[in-house]
Chain A
Amino acid sequence: MMKMRKFDNKLGNRHRNQIEGSGTFASAILLKHDDPSTIKMRTSTKKYLLLRLLKYVLLDILKNRMVLFYTLFLLATSFGLFSMSGDPTKGIASLLNIVLLVSPLLSLIFSTIYFYNSYEFIELLSAQPIQRKTILYSQYWGLCISLIVALVIGLGIPLLLFAPGKAALSLLIVSCGLTMAFVSLALLAALLTRDKARGIGLSLLLWFYFTFIYDALMLMIMFAYIDYPMETLTLTMISLNPIDLARVIVLLQLDVSALMGYTGAMLQDLFSSGKGVLLASGVMLIWILAPLRLAIKLFNKRDL
């Protein structure tokens, strides 16, 4: 918004220059009606621009069958798990484990590959009067929307049919949040290196880190300090990994926290109040926004 205003000021100056007769020739179109209403119109044109770009990105992703396979996989898994175990709580618990493994992996790999493959499109757009930020946002939202639609169909429908309730809702919301965070991380990985193979490697590494390595480290630390009070440390460490955070949020809705010992009781206490939910959402939001912000920064400096 600030930038926009700055730009408009510049335009205003240029307009004055033109009136004074100093030779200007660029942006004749933009100068013609340089009054507040045009500025407003220009801002809204910019907003619609993102939607217009988004349309093309979504159409392109739809052509890719990966998202369809993902939806079918989720549908098959959820229906399978729920029909195998009669207890919906057990069904949700096993589904949680699978979703926490698969959805970050797919979000990372699919987004990274998609970004590298649409490099031509990005290059083409970069020569048009479009902000780089808008281009990256269109990619981000295109990926997020398509993957979230896959989750809502593949996960949401079976959950609604077999185990409607608070736990099911939290599982769906948490997996959508995870998807958004990992698409954001994927774009960051793709912008950190120009080489496609390296970018995908980096994405895989991120997934390994958050899924296996981090948990192993956490266990080691907890084991080493087993004699000390651990509540705050555990909570902090959980927050530093979006997957762990997601797992805890859903598990606490399932009333199995009694199995998680003293820390579990503490977490239960925290998350049963609104404060805990607010905290968890805040941390998730940081996991979504921080990598995306960094990716935009990198993309703005990128030579195409």
Chain B
Amino acid sequence: MIEFNNISKSFGKLKILDQLNLAFFKGQSIALIGPNGSGKTTLIKCLLGLVVPTSGEIKIDGVNAIGSWMHRSNIGYMPQIGRYPDNITVMQLFEMIKEIRKGTFVKLDEELLHSFEIFKFENKTMSSLSGGMRQKVSACLAFMFDPEILILDEPTAGLDPISSEILKEKLKKELTKGKLILITSHILNDLEDLTNEIIYLNEGKIVFFKKVEELKSETGSINLSKAIARIMELQNNLS
């Protein structure tokens, strides 16, 4: 279980996260949505320890995760923009990460490597890869060590439709294994059949955290993007 207790983060005067309280459980698949700059990526990075929160605590299974590093062996992270050393090849990158993580995983999951046909460009250097190819590499790395928690930041943004489908199928498969999945995306249709809960974040605050069915029944829409659009409209009217 992951707990966020009163997490705040500010960069200078700018408040990105404002006293967030959240709890995620095993088997949940959560979509994190919200306008640009609402703090989605920062929230994820706090969990990973890439960003240090200004105040508050994060607990994983009751153990403090801020400043800790072991918990990262159980998190697969696909960044929004994967940045890699320029002068190493794709294969070298995978070998390197495998070597570095030796002893922190039980089994390797290289299914995506095959379905994305990484071998076709395995000898290219990272700097010569297109944005989509990089995304594929990032996705492979996120799933590779069979983590219990999967965090994907805009996973389908740069992928072609076929690859995007492959990734979604893989995610569904992992979900049936009872993993915790956290996705941010602006493409609501992608999230439709992948997630069962939605968090809507705005200006560092949680607007709502609801089950998808709940959302649909509340708004009377059959489709997720319409339901969200409806809620946003309602909120605008209120404020």
Residues of A within 8 A of B (CB): 7, 10-11, 13-14, 17, 23-30, 41-42, 45, 49, 52-53, 56, 60, 63, 118-121, 123-132, 300-304
What are 27 A-B contacts defined by CB distance under 8 Å?
Answer: A10-B63, A13-B62, A25-B148, A26-B60, A26-B74, A26-B148, A27-B61, A27-B74, A28-B74, A45-B103, A49-B100, A52-B102, A53-B100, A63-B87, A119-B83, A121-B84, A124-B83, A127-B72, A127-B79, A128-B72, A128-B101, A129-B69, A129-B71, A130-B100, A300-B52, A300-B67, A302-B52
Interchain CA distance A119-B83 in the complex, whole Å: 9
Name A52's contact: one of B69, B77, B100 (CB within 8 Å). Answer: B100
B1 interface contact, C-beta 8 A = yes
In this complex, the member of A26, A118, A303 whose beta carbon has the largest number of chain B beta carbons within 10 angstroms is: A26
Q: Which residues of A contact B69 (CB under 8 A)?
A: 129-132
B97 interface contact, C-beta 8 A = yes
B233 interface contact, C-beta 8 A = no
Q: Which residues of A contact B48 (CB under 8 A)?
A: 127
Are A127's CB and B50's CB within 8 A? yes
- Which B residues, 1 to 59, have Cβ-Cβ distances below 8 Å to chain A? 1, 11, 25-26, 45, 48-52
Q: Which residues of B contact A119 (CB under 8 A)?
A: 83
Interchain CA distance A129-B50 in the complex, whole Å: 12
Are B61's CB and A24's CB within 8 A? yes
Are B104's CB and A129's CB within 8 A? yes
In this complex, the member of A45, A56, A128 whose beta carbon has the largest number of chain B beta carbons within 10 angstroms is: A128
Are B85's CB and A60's CB within 8 A? yes
In this complex, the member of A11, A29, A123 whose beta carbon has the largest number of chain B beta carbons within 10 angstroms is: A29
B105 interface contact, C-beta 8 A = yes
